[in-house]
Structure 1
Amino acid sequence: MIEFINVEKTYGNNVKALQDINLKIDQGEFVAIIGLSGAGKSTLIRCINRMHDITGGSLIVDDIDVSSLRGKEVRKFRKRIGMIFQSFNLVTRTSVLKNVLVSFVPELPFWRKLTGVFSKEHKTKALTALDQVGILDKAYVRVDQLSGGQQQRVALARTLAQNPDIILADEPIASLDPVTAKQVMNDFKRINEEMNITVIINIHHVEIALEYANRIIGVRDGKVVFDGKSAEVTEEVLDYIYKGQIEKETMSQDKGE
């Protein structure tokens, strides 16, 4: 379980990215976080794996106070949490398999890190992860020869190989076409349901969020302004989350912008 208790995040220039966040997310949930750019969506999910440190309140993951972790404890904790980025973060000049094997590097003995030699067990886990996202046949293909959707699936396989309890995804379909985006979202949904992995996704595509996620968290100006089931999200709720975005667009059109 993930629990935010009065969480605050203030950056050095006194910008309040998160204010008074109180949330509980249970194991196996599929949660989509929506809101305008700059609302605090990315900051919220990046606090979960300590990519960002909170500046107030408490963040508890399975009875662990995340802020109290130090050094090796942080690295051990992060092994349980997979992170998917919009930019994929892949090494494009090497093979798909080698990119997935990267997930095992932190646990390797020094000599294996030095030589780049992975065990048979690691290779089996990596190939299994590629099979789980439907690109096992691409294992020995260079990443730069893949489509954007296939590259995102490599990133997802790399995350699955570390056997996480939680997957955080920061705008994972932002750079994909609509058909490919749905394929990637299908992967997330299947993994969530079949493996009981908690999926928390920060997403701009509201219609896709409503289609795939069971729970929607709306963030505005660093605050949670909606938290409920996807079926409860109405046009009025969306207007509240996005703070008059529709009116602004209409005004721009009236001005001929």
Structure 2
Amino acid sequence: MIQFIDVQKTYPNGTIALQNVNLNIEQGEFVAVIGLSGAGKSTLIRCINRMHDITGGRLIVDDVEVTRLRGKQIRRFRRRIGMIFQSFNLVTRTTVIKNVLVSFVPDLPLWRKLTGLFTKEQKIKALEALDKVGILDKAYVRVDQLSGGQQQRVALARTLAQNPDIILADEPIASLDPVTSRMVMNDFKRINQEMNISVIMNIHHVEVALEYADRIIGIRKGEVVFDGESRRVTKEILEDIYGGNIEALASSPEEKLAHVR
């Protein structure tokens, strides 16, 4: 379980990113966080793995008070939480499998880190992770020869290889075309359902969020203004989250948001 209890986040320049956030996220949920740019979506998910420190309240992950972790405790804690970025964060001039094997580096003894030698078991786990996202055949291909969607799948495989309980995804489909976006989202949904991994995703594509996520968290100016099942989201709720301008959500809102009441 992830618990936000009266969480506040204020940046050193005085910007209030989060205020009065109270949330409970259970293991195995697929949660999409939506809202305008600058509303606090990225800050919310990055606080979970201590990429950002909260400035008030409490943040608890499986009975661990996140703000109390120090040094090696933080690194061990982060091993349980996979993080996927919009930019993929891959080494494009090397092979796919080497990018996935990077997930094991924190656990390697110093001599293996220096030599870049991985165990047979680690290599098998890396190949299994690639198989789970459907790109096992690309294991020994250089990353820069892959499409954007395939690169995002490599990033997802790298995260799966570390066997996380939680996956945080920060705009994972923002740079992908619609067809590729759905392929990647199908991967997230299947992994969430088959492996019971919690997925918490910051996403601009509202229609995609409503289709794939079980739960929607709407943020406006750092506050949670909606928290509920996707099927409960109405146009009035979206107008509240987005300040009355849902036409800005898509190029064809009549078509893409037609299923929203």
Which residue pairs with 1:108 in the alignment?
108
Question: Is residue 238 from structure 1 mapped to residue 228 from structure 2 by the alignment?
Answer: no
- The equivalent of 1:152 in structure 2 is 152
- Corresponding position of 2:91: 91
Residue of structure 1 equivalent to 2:131: 131
Measured against aligned partners, the alpha-carbon deviations of 1:132-173 in whole angstroms (never above 9, x if no partner) come to: 000000000000000000000000000000000000000000
Q: Aligned letter for 2:11?
A: Y
Q: Give the structure-2-normalised TM-score.
A: 0.94
CA separation in 2, counterparts of 1:244 and 1:2?
30
In the alignment, what sits opposite 2:22?
Answer: 22
Deviations 1:71-94 (CA, angstroms, capped at 9, x unpaired): 000000000000000000000000
Q: Deviations over 1:207-229 (max 9, x none)?
A: 00000000000000000000000
Amino acid paired to 1:39: A
Match of 1:181 in 2: 181
Residue in structure 2 matched with residue 117 of structure 1 by the alignment: 117
State the partner residue of 2:255.
Answer: none
User: Residue 8 of structure 1 corresponds to which residue in structure 2?
Assistant: 8
Structure-2 change in CA distance of 1:248 and 1:175 (3 Å):
closer
- Secondary structure at the aligned position of 1:124 is classed as helix
Equivalent pairs counted in the alignment come to 249
Q: Is 2:167 the counterpart of 1:167?
A: yes
What's the CA shift string for 1:90-137, capped at 9, x where partnerless? 000000000000000001000000000000010000000000000000
CA offset at residue 248 of structure 1? 8.4
Unaligned runs of 5+ in 1: 250-257
Structure 2: runs of 5+ lacking an equivalent: 250-261
Change (3 A) 1:32 1:247: closer
What code does the residue aligned with 2:73 have? E
In 2, Cα distance between the equivalents of 1:176 and 1:248?
19
The residue aligned with 1:56 is 56
Equivalent position of 2:199 in the other structure: 199
Q: CA deviation at 1:7?
A: 0.2
Counterpart amino acid of residue 245 in structure 2: Q
SS in 2 for 1:194: helix
Q: TM-score normalised to the size of structure 1? A: 0.96
What is the CA–CA distance in structure 2 between the aligned matches of 1:92 and 1:164, rounded to whole Å? 24
Give the deviation of 1:244 after TM superposition. 2.0
Q: Percent identity?
A: 79
In the alignment, the residues of structure 2 paired with residue 205 and residue 248 of structure 1 have an alpha-carbon distance, to the nearest angstrom, of 11
- 1:46 counterpart letter in structure 2: R
Q: Please report how far the alpha carbon of residue 245 of structure 1 lies from its aligned counterpart in structure 2 after TM superposition.
A: 2.0
SS in 1 for 2:19: strand
SS in 2 for 1:84: strand
Alpha-carbon distance in structure 2 between the residues aligned to 1:118 and 1:33: 37
Aligned counterparts of 1:127 and 1:246: Cα–Cα separation in 2:
42
Q: Report the Cα offset of residue 246 of structure 1.
A: 4.5
Are the equivalent residues in 1 in contact too, given 2:29–2:198 (CA < 8 A)? yes
Change (3 A) 1:233 1:108: same
Match of 1:72 in 2: 72
- Match of 2:132, as an amino acid? Q
Instruction: Tell me, in whole angstroms, the C-alpha distance in 2 between the residues paired with 1:183 and 1:246.
Output: 25
